[in-house]
Amino acid sequence: MDVRRRFPKSAAAAAAASPTEIASVGGAARVQASDALPLPIRHTNLLFSALFAASLVFLMRRWREKIRSSTPLHVVGLSELLAIVGLVASLIYLISFFGITFVQSIVSSHDEDDFLLNHAPAPAPAPTPCPLLCDAAPSPEKMPAVTEEDEEIILSVVAGKTPSYILESKLGDCRRAAGIRREVLRRMTGRSLEGLPLDGFDYGSILGQCCELPVGYVQLPVGIAGPLVLDGRQYYVPMATTEGCLVASTNRGCKAIAESGGAESVVLRDGMTRAPAVRLPSARRAAELKAFLEEPSNFETLAVVFNRSSRFARLQGIQCALAGRNLYMRFSCSTGDAMGMNMVSKGVQNVLDYLQGDFPDMDVISISGNFCSDKKPAAVNWIEGRGKSVVCEATIKEDVVKKVLKTTVSALVELNMIKNLAGSAVAGALGGFNAHASNIVSAIFIATGQDPAQNVESSHCITMMEAVNDGKDLHVSVTMPSIEVGTVGGGTHLASQAACLDLLGVKGANLESPGANARLLATIVAGSVLAGELSLLSALAAGQLVKSHMKYNRSSKDISKAA
């Protein structure tokens, strides 16, 4: 996001900043319009507010006297003329001061639909360097001098007079706000955050949508696994992780798939869900609402109401469940290339407002009643699906199993049965009939700007293996019923994450076929999980897991290990 668009340097916007909020960039003070005022900005605000109120009261009283005495209103004296001028001048000042932020918020805000149509975000300007803080541990020799203006703000935040969360809007400089907040944290805790970078990140790109109260950013290495040959195309898969062996193992699985002719995938379902919880006076009344929602003749009307929320949201179905007099309504809808949580929530709110007309005794407890189910392991997602439901399969040739995976077909089939199926059943697993699907899902999610918390349900996976072609070759598949991904919205617009999406060829929205990019990303996730499952299970079957982790998952400067 362009910081300059959110904080334009107009006279009105500059007047909203106090003299203590002048930024010091490169050693030179940035001049603002408020510098020309003879009084501090807070006194000027009080003066114009009092002038506005006094002028308005005076004119109202004068006009009331004229109406009572039948005097024409357009006949004005000098005092009235001065009052009118004062009223207009103070009104202009107050609108400029208090209205500019509201207007800018409207101009700069973006609905999910705008993301879908404007899938290529404008390049953000490089962050302006600020000498307020250095990334290393502060010391008298290395720490840059803090300007008097910044020092006053820091002391105000430390004293609790200025809330930390309004620094961006007060200063109009996201990088400077992060630096001040970081210095406040250092003084309050006595800890320097050494090693947490501050410079080198565009803080304006996260303002109002990705992260609040930033003080820096965490660095994560990104590795590439591939090529993953999937549905006749090659993909180089970015994975952000700190677990040694993960990328290398997934890369080996990709090699085995590629040398066997590639993998194939199919998307079974595509629909995001949201399930509000409502309460009615009685269970009978709740059952009546359930019957109304499930009546096929009412679906078209409900769909029209729901679909008004977005040009991409399309209601697919409503599934209801009763618990006493509480009703849980699970709405499912398509969401284009967005992951779609906000989109479906807006549609659900429209339907709830509509239902209040026929069911005025309906009490909405929450827009989300956990029957969705979001960011929690749940049988409803495992059975009904959520997001994208994907199956990916491949047939691995016998010689590839021996040469690349260093094991045998029979050993893999037996291990998968005893570990992934029987072992998970003994553990009472819910959606966890796999070796390590969440490893791959999390790494790709972080690299591509997905919501990492949705790894919980997105990693639901059952891995199947069986011997085919007279027992010579291995058929392997992963079934993942709830992969929740998007290629627009959320963190997908950030520079690093957008670059990873672009590497996969799914950056932004697909204008020709809305939703195609998100579905393709889901199949790539499933294909990568397939590769990861193949490699890890092969390492377990061959007894190589501990050996490989001891060799590659330990800190070492020996670059020969990378071979």
Of 226, 130, 207, which Cα lies nearest the Cα of 175?
A: 130
Query: Can you read off the two tokens belonging to residue 263?
Result: 């993998």
Distance, in Å, from the CA atom of 352 to the CA atom of 67, rounded to the nearest integer, reads: 50
pLDDT: which is higher, 51 or 559:
51
Confidence at residue 7, expressed as pLDDT on a 0 to 100 scale: 40
pLDDT band at 48; cut points 50, 70, 90: confident
pLDDT tens digits along 473-510: 999 999 999 999 999 999 999 999 999 999 999 999 99
pLDDT band at 37; cut points 50, 70, 90: low
pLDDT tens digits along 373-410: 999 999 999 999 999 999 999 999 999 999 999 999 99
Question: Is the pLDDT reported for residue 276 higher than 60?
Answer: yes
Confidence at residue 544, expressed as pLDDT on a 0 to 100 scale: 75
Confidence at residue 405, expressed as pLDDT on a 0 to 100 scale: 97
Query: Can you read off the two tokens belonging to residue 171?
Result: 């200063």
Confidence at residue 551, expressed as pLDDT on a 0 to 100 scale: 64
Residues annotated as catalytic (active site), given as ranges: 243, 375, 451, 549
Q: Which DSSP state fits 422? A: I
Confidence at residue 10, expressed as pLDDT on a 0 to 100 scale: 40
Question: Is the pLDDT reported for residue 2 higher than 60?
Answer: no
Q: Which residues of 418-440 are buried (b: 16+ CB within 10 A; e: fewer)?
A: ebbbeebeeeebebbbbbbbbbb
pLDDT: which is higher, 73 or 251:
251
In this prediction, residues 163-178 reach a mean pLDDT of: 95
Question: Is the pLDDT reported for residue 137 higher than 50?
Answer: no
For the residues of 453-473, what is the DSSP string, one character each?
GGHHHHT-EEEEEEEETTTTE
- Evaluate whether 530 touches 477 at the Cβ level (below 8 Å): yes
Confidence at residue 40, expressed as pLDDT on a 0 to 100 scale: 67
pLDDT: which is higher, 129 or 344:
344
In this prediction, residues 136-142 reach a mean pLDDT of: 46
As beta bridge partners, residue 465 has: 476
Confidence at residue 124, expressed as pLDDT on a 0 to 100 scale: 47
Query: Can you read off the two tokens belonging to residue 36?
Result: 């020309």
pLDDT tens digits along 238-248: 999 999 999 99
For the residues of 278-320, what is the DSSP string, one character each?
EE-SSHHHHHHHHHHHH-HHHHHHHHHHHHTT-SS-EEEEEEE
Confidence at residue 71, expressed as pLDDT on a 0 to 100 scale: 79
Confidence at residue 552, expressed as pLDDT on a 0 to 100 scale: 64
Confidence at residue 314, expressed as pLDDT on a 0 to 100 scale: 95
Question: Is the pLDDT reported for residue 94 higher than 90?
Answer: no
Share of the chain above pLDDT 90, in %: 69
pLDDT tens digits along 171-200: 999 999 999 999 999 999 999 899 999 999
Question: Is the pLDDT reported for residue 36 higher than 90?
Answer: no
Confidence at residue 143, expressed as pLDDT on a 0 to 100 scale: 52
Phi, psi (5° rounding) for residue 234?
A: -105, 135
- Evaluate whether 280 touches 360 at the Cβ level (below 8 Å): no
pLDDT band at 121; cut points 50, 70, 90: very low
pLDDT: which is higher, 274 or 43:
274
- Evaluate whether 409 touches 472 at the Cβ level (below 8 Å): yes
Distance, in Å, from the CA atom of 160 to the CA atom of 516, rounded to the nearest integer, reads: 49
Distance, in Å, from the CA atom of 63 to the CA atom of 560, rounded to the nearest integer, reads: 91
Q: What average pLDDT is seen over the chain? A: 86
pLDDT tens digits along 198-248: 999 999 999 988 999 999 999 999 999 999 999 999 999 999 999 999 999
